[in-house]
Chain A
Amino acid sequence: MKDQRVTRIEDLPGPKSQGELEEMKMPYEEYCRKVFSPGQEKTKPESLKGIRWLSTTMYIFTPHSVANLAELGAECIKVEMPRMGDPMRHTSPFNECYLYPLHDSRPMTGTGLGFTNANSNEYYITMDYHVPEMKEAFYRLVKLSDGLTECYRPGTFDRWKQSYRYLQELNPRFIYVWGGGFGYGPKVFGGSYDILGQAHAGLASVTGFHEDFGGHCTKHSNWCIDWYSGTQITVAILAALYWRRKTGLGTMIEFSQVQAATRCLGYTVPLYGRFGIVRQRWGNWDTQLCVHGIILCGKSDYPDEPNPQLKYEARYAVVSAFNDPDFKELCAIIGRNDLWDQYKTLQDRVRPQAQIAIYKALEEWAADKTRSQVVKTLTDAGLLAMPVMNDKEVYECEHFRQRGTIRWLDDPVFGDLLIQSGYSCGLMSKTPRRVNWLWRPVGADNVKIYHEMLGYPMSKIEEWYEKNLI
């Protein structure tokens, strides 16, 4: 029973200790720097420690759903085919920058950079689970794990007696994720990959320039739907873990990549539903705001660089001046007050013909300028302008650097690597994400998992290895 005559500090609103009092006096900026403290992640606890997850995945999309868990502290075990590994190891961009080794029995074969960021912090074992001899080990892993993500064609794991229907009998708390192309339904046998997801979900049709501008529908250069879908699966897994806390039961998550990309369509679908209008592509211009787009400037910021991406391509800038006073100012700067006289309201400006005339005038003005000159002139006038930065510029950007978004990792196996991965996600003050290692060679943790965790004798492991079962 509380004594009403005594005032206890913990009952009062506000800081509870001298330390907290000091924290309250800190300016917000300083407070954020202290609680997030990039570089100090490994001194803090991990929110998902204690969760064990299996990953029988390939490429980017499904592996990324597990990497998210691993970066948050779950113990994740990636299962690969003996000697070969995840095909993504061999599918990096065509300017192959190999890191070695893939596997020590293949010292000439390396893993490509395309594999980075999708499987961080995981343990790597090999298993050929087609073979009846390996079934027991697979089932024992399931009994000791919280869940699994797989990406085989629908029904494949069922045929191999390791789908949700079978595994929930072994472990009713098991959370099972299938992630793939189309999922059950009329297109059940359709495989998918990022570009197909972007195309089939309607996303590519609204990306890129209109044909009137000599444009085409455009896929994003990077596999953004793979990365996006992987993260969406992780959200489902976290919800399933929470559901299991309430009910004690596992669940099955079925995740179709081509369906996921429709989420990015925004108002496109309701637009069709309400008016029957099929949304068009409008490239780097906005259909609702003008000026609010990306323009091409005439000169590069790096005329002397040998790299063509710098020498020729570092020429784009975002310009935003859509409200009337800003647009008026912009017209004065580019010496085209006639455009202001002609398009005094946003309503006038967003019309296609007006946008064509306005952006053309902007690019004419920028034709003899570098991107930096354009951005500086507009920013000095109080207008919003930003360079379209490339990866080099993002790397050099002080803002990202102070927040730790991109940083060097001294990977225990592969040495010095520049990465973003977990550090490009949201910051967490108490339980931040971290990257311990990017990946390990094929089968690197066979002894750790089969012997130390499951307790198989070394002789058994060597026998499996000789028979190519692991």
Chain B
Amino acid sequence: MCDIIWCKDCDTVNYLDPYYFWNWEGKIKCAGCENVYYIYMIQGHMYKGPEKKAGEKPDILPVYADKPNDGYEQILPGTPGKTRPYNCLPRHIYLGKADMVKFSARGRPVRGWRPQPPSTGVAGSCGFTWDIQKLSPEVWQEYQEKIKKGEVSEW
């Protein structure tokens, strides 16, 4: 079950995600226009509203909205001023770009950057140890600095 406020003025469907609005009373702004709607939900069911409250300040924005009669034009989560910021997506590392790190969370080297120095033997075979000092002297140097600064931990 997912409750909606279908704004008749601008023909926008505002989706209220069911967990958040399980027991909720307050005002929501339409993602399509400046309308503000009062609702009161109890145990996931609409108990009062939606009632138009023109000019009042909204408590919250919808999480997502679309216009089904308008070719399903979407107003995605996190659209400023229209939908709620999507807190699951705040960090650049969640946006599908490879996050290249040289050091693990505890500050020791990992082999995580590109391009890699070639180390191949015959037919792509590779040795059983990666000698960071030899293959990546600049990372080794950076590591020594980190040790000195106390940025490397045991756990």
Interface set of A (CB-CB < 8 Å, partner B): 94-101, 103-105, 107-108, 110, 126, 211-215, 306-308, 312, 356, 360, 401, 408, 410, 412-418, 437, 440-448, 450, 458, 461-462, 464-465, 470
Question: How many residues belonging to B are interface residues under a CB distance threshold of 8 Å?
Answer: 50
A-side contacts of B44, CB under 8 Å? 212-214
Q: Are A448 and B125 in contact (CB under 8 A)?
A: yes
Known: A94-B94, A95-B94, A458-B122. A107 touches B108 (CB 8 A): no
A95 to B89, CA, bound (A): 10
Interface string of B99-124 (1 = CB under 8 A from A): 11101111011111111111111111
Q: Are A416 and B124 in contact (CB under 8 A)?
A: no
Q: Which of B113-149 contact A (CB under 8 A)?
A: 113-126, 128-130, 132
Name B20's closest neighbour in chain A (CB-CB): A214
Q: Are B125 and A98 in contact (CB under 8 A)?
A: no
Q: Are B93 and A445 in contact (CB under 8 A)?
A: no
26 contacts between A and B (CB under 8 A): A95-B95, A98-B99, A99-B112, A104-B116, A107-B116, A107-B118, A108-B114, A110-B112, A126-B124, A212-B1, A213-B44, A308-B87, A408-B104, A410-B108, A412-B128, A412-B129, A413-B128, A413-B130, A414-B111, A415-B130, A441-B126, A444-B125, A445-B125, A446-B123, A461-B123, A465-B122
Q: Are B129 and A413 in contact (CB under 8 A)?
A: yes
Q: Are B124 and A465 in contact (CB under 8 A)?
A: yes
- The dominant DSSP class at the B interface is loop
Q: Are B126 and A444 in contact (CB under 8 A)?
A: yes
Given contacts A99-B112, A440-B126, 17 further A-B contacts (CB under 8 A): A94-B96, A96-B99, A98-B99, A104-B119, A104-B124, A107-B116, A108-B115, A214-B19, A214-B44, A308-B90, A312-B87, A408-B155, A415-B111, A416-B106, A443-B125, A444-B124, A462-B122
**Distance (Å) between the CB of B117 and the closest chain A CB?**
8
Q: Which of B1-44 contact A (CB under 8 A)?
A: 1-2, 18-19, 21-23, 43-44
A111 to B2, CA, bound (A): 39
**Distance (Å) between the CB of B10 and the closest chain A CB?**
26
Known: A96-B98, A104-B120, A418-B104. A213 touches B112 (CB 8 A): no
| Count of A-B contacts judged by CB separation below 8 Å | 145
Name A448's closest neighbour in chain B (CB-CB): B125
Q: Are A95 and B93 in contact (CB under 8 A)?
A: yes
A-side contacts of B54, CB under 8 Å? none
Contact partner of B109 among A356, A416, A445, CB < 8 A? A416
Name B126's closest neighbour in chain A (CB-CB): A444
**Distance (Å) between the CB of A133 and the closest chain B CB?**
15
A416 to B115, CA, bound (A): 19
Best-buried of B118, B122, B124 by chain A (most CB within 10 Å): B124
**Leading 10 A-B pairs by shortest Cβ distance:** A214-B18, A443-B124, A104-B120, A416-B108, A465-B123, A416-B104, A415-B110, A447-B125, A107-B115, A96-B98
Name A470's closest neighbour in chain B (CB-CB): B123
Known: A212-B44, A444-B126. A100 touches B22 (CB 8 A): no
B-side contacts of A458, CB under 8 Å? 122
A307 to B91, CA, bound (A): 8
B-side contacts of A110, CB under 8 Å? 98, 112, 114
A127 to B22, CA, bound (A): 55
Q: Are A412 and B130 in contact (CB under 8 A)?
A: yes
Name B112's closest neighbour in chain A (CB-CB): A99
Q: Are A415 and B118 in contact (CB under 8 A)?
A: no
Name A449's closest neighbour in chain B (CB-CB): B125
Known: A98-B114, A212-B44. A441 touches B104 (CB 8 A): no
Known: A105-B120, A108-B115. A99 touches B110 (CB 8 A): yes
Q: Are B104 and A211 in contact (CB under 8 A)?
A: no
B-side contacts of A104, CB under 8 Å? 116, 118-120, 124, 126
Q: Are B110 and A416 in contact (CB under 8 A)?
A: yes
A447 to B1, CA, bound (A): 58
Q: Are A447 and B112 in contact (CB under 8 A)?
A: no
**Distance (Å) between the CB of B138 and the closest chain A CB?**
15
Name B88's closest neighbour in chain A (CB-CB): A308
